[in-house]
Amino acid sequence: FNERDIISANGMIVRPDRLVLDKNKNAILIDYKTGAFDKKHEQQLITYSDIIESMGIEVKKRILIYIDQDIEIKEL
């Protein structure tokens, strides 16, 4: 899924850039960023992951992809 709203149990709305699900309810969570790595990007992805896992879906991988002149991939 690309950029779909997900509503947490407490009403928080998040929108990860990409969520890939398999038939066994496992997920890969991907978020694209521009610029340099920032710790708050990592925390944002962890928040997304926590919300998704609270829905009974196991997040197997969390990936930040930095797109600029060069592409940098950071797996959490």
Tens digits of per-residue pLDDT, 39-67? 999 999 999 999 999 999 999 999 999 99
Structure tokens at 47: 């928040």
Whether the CB-CB separation of 50 and 63 falls below 8 Å is answered with: no
Half-sphere exposure of 69 (CA within 13 A, CB side): 0
Write down the pTM of the prediction: 0.85
In the chain, the domains with their CATH numbers are 6-75 (3.40.91.60)
3-state secondary structure of 67: strand
